[in-house]
Structure 1
Amino acid sequence: MLPVFWGTASETAGQIVGPKRAGRAVSQVYLGISAALLFGIPLGTLASDSVGWRSTFWGLAGLSLLMAILMFVFMPVVARPEKIKIKEQIRILKDRRFVANLVLSVVVFTAMFTAYTYLANTLERIAGVQTAYVGWWLMGFGAIGLIGNWLGGRFVDSNPLRATVIFTLLLGIGMSLSVPLAGSSLLLGISLAMWGIAYTALFPICQIRVMKSASRAQALAGTLNVSAANAGTGLGAIIGGVAISQWGLGSIGYVATGIAAVAILMVAWIARLK
């Protein structure tokens, strides 16, 4: 259900503010998602330890019901979009530019998760971070990434493809420097900050880029992009695992950066498509 929710939420956010500010609106949707992932897991763990997992789930169900009521009461009314038949919506899959943007999302997320999936192992085994502190490093990674969410929303409205290049390049720099700079906590923190900002920025950037490449059926386009992101996430984890078995954990950042370079080259190709 999450891909459907995220796709619909992205389209609705864009409708509320208009096309000129759609990027910022969608970035706020993903800000909520990022914040939930950042704070929800540790808070959920604390709640589970305090009152048990059953009570925690009942509490989450109650909060979900409350949010549904608040959305029903306070959500701005938007014009009902023109109904488009399913056959007409599926026609976006015949648009080469749309499909190319969808594939680009797969490649970008593959690069992101080739390295991110094994970030905890990298911190512990290469940077020498004690196991008890790895969680704090990951939380810091997510917290600094919230800046990227804001930046991504500001950049993507003017030129989605250019925003993709800028933050994919920053992602590659951060990932490739993480291992060479692992011996210094300060320098490692700087590389992780670049990585985290780009990582979080690329979520709304890819969502808006794919939705704008579809002239119609933007909710479907947004949902397909979430599915593409999930495909890239799984593919990245597989590639990362293969890279570790072949060349060791220290290679992971370089392999991910190579995939990011492929994504940047794809942008140049997509820009020429009509």
Structure 2
Amino acid sequence: MLLPILLLSAAGFTVLTTEFIIVGLLPAIARDLDVSVPQAGLLVTLFAFTVAALGPFLTAYFARFERKRLFIVILLMFAFANTVAALAPNIWVMGFARLLPALGLPVFWALASETAVGIAGPEYAGRAIAKIGFGIVCATVFGIPVGTLISDAWGWRSAFGILAVVALAKAALLWVYLPAIRVVNEQSSLSSQFVMLRSPLVIGHILLSVLVFSGMFTAYTYLADILERLAGFDGTVVGWCLMGFGAVGLVGNSLGGRMVDRHPLIASIVFCAFMIGGLLALVPSIHSTLGLAAAMGVWGVTQAAMFLISHVRLMKVAAHAPAFGASLNIAGGNLGIGLGAMIGGRVIDNYGLGSLGLAAAGLILLSIVLALWLMKCKPVSPVINCPDR
């Protein structure tokens, strides 16, 4: 049953590339649509906040649908949205093009993760999702940087146009090769899933995802701008730098998949601690080839790992409804992405690009404090007790 997981991983590549490709294109989009880079960064916030606000509801509702047809429809939606983005005449149409895929991403990612875990078994949840997560890492290794290189060569619109064609191709592959997947552990009602939001432990884990992703995307949203304006790189060099950032994420994806199965919160703390080092070292080493490579390498490994760790962490906490648990992480993570883009934009406006690493590291430090507190929480059915503050 490895083929279904690999097919979903390939589809996940397209889904996540659609979300994050804009990171490498922000400077070009801002110039073409005649807005500032922080204003263009609000496109990231729009996508992320839409996922955060609607993701759990959409996932809970669509969990009852047959997976193959659902995944194909989502990919067709992505193809249409990327076509609209490629033709967008202004920032408002571009905003609409970013809104549509934001509705499909949480449903695909949560249910694809649940499907992979159902195939591999809960004891191998981390490794199964690591295979799905390989598509995410490939999106950062190839999707985002290749999109940047395409933008530099033929314009940012061509990057979205090619992505639309890829989404159509992936839909065709799923139609031909993905078997009909019976819904396992179908949720009986929306209320039976949302009741877990009464758990302080679940709320704490959602907040942890918000903090982690806020920290990561305070800086990552504007990484291309950092490399252009502070390091002085052109679009081609920025593309290769982003490819290197994503490539080291393969290591983080593998390490995170193994560590999270043993202890999710310890894995979170360890990788967040190393991430702080990479974030703080980025700007001071911006003119040193080896120093910049080392800082981006540490950041890239830990960021890829935290995508996976955060996802599995909430699925394990919500073991009786893993797809809904995954959707809660996606919602919390995207709320963090949106907040990070906004925080980063404010930092740029008030303190300059050079302060992004420090601001991001501060948020990651808060996430470590929260993770340490959550380790003291004792799950006792049906109530989860946490230590008094």
Other structure's SS at 1:127 match: coil
- 8 Å CA contact retained: 2:245, 2:296: yes
- 8 Å CA contact retained: 1:84, 1:217: no
Q: Distance in 1 between matches of 2:283 and 2:150?
A: 32
Q: CA deviation at 1:3?
A: 0.4
Q: Which moved more, 1:206-215 or 1:241-250?
A: 241-250
Structure 2 partner of 1:89: 193
Q: Distance in 2 between matches of 1:55 and 1:111?
A: 31
- The 5 Å alignment of 1:1-274 reads 1-40=104-143, 42=146, 57-58=164-165, 60-72=167-179, 80-81=184-185, 83-274=187-378
Aligned pair in 2 of structure 1 residues 32, 251: CA closer, same or farther (>3 Å)? same
Kindly indicate whether structure 1 or structure 2 has the higher relative contact order, using CA contacts under 8 Å at least 6 residues apart: 1
- 8 Å CA contact retained: 1:176, 1:254: yes
Q: CA deviation at 1:59?
A: 5.6
Q: Distance in 2 between matches of 1:120 and 1:68?
A: 36
What amino acid is the match of 2:316?
K
Q: Distance in 1 between matches of 2:163 and 2:287?
A: 40
- 8 Å CA contact retained: 1:175, 1:254: yes
- 8 Å CA contact retained: 2:275, 2:302: yes
Q: CA deviation at 1:80?
A: 2.8
Q: CA deviation at 1:78?
A: 7.4
Aligned pair in 2 of structure 1 residues 55, 192: CA closer, same or farther (>3 Å)? closer
Deviation by residue 1:118-163 (Cα, 9 ceiling, x = unmatched)? 1112222222323431111111111111211111101100000001
What amino acid is the match of 2:221?
T
- 8 Å CA contact retained: 1:156, 1:209: yes
Q: Distance in 2 between matches of 1:9 and 1:214?
A: 16
Deviation by residue 1:216-258 (Cα, 9 ceiling, x = unmatched)? 2111110121121111111001111111222221111011001
Q: Distance in 1 between matches of 2:163 and 2:209?
A: 35
Q: CA deviation at 1:60?
A: 3.5
Deviation by residue 1:199-221 (Cα, 9 ceiling, x = unmatched)? 11111100000111113211111
Q: CA deviation at 1:32?
A: 1.1
What amino acid is the match of 2:179?
F
What amino acid is the match of 1:123?
L
Aligned pair in 2 of structure 1 residues 37, 253: CA closer, same or farther (>3 Å)? closer
CA RMSD of superposed structures (Å): 2.4
- 8 Å CA contact retained: 2:149, 2:235: no
Q: Which moved more, 1:63-72 or 1:222-231?
A: 63-72
Q: Distance in 2 between matches of 1:130 and 1:64?
A: 35
Paired residue total: 269
Q: CA deviation at 1:183?
A: 2.1
Q: Following TM superposition, where does structure 1 have runs of at least 4 consecutive aligned residues deviating by more than 4 angstroms?
A: 43-49, 52-56
Aligned pair in 2 of structure 1 residues 29, 128: CA closer, same or farther (>3 Å)? same
TM-score using structure 2 length: 0.64
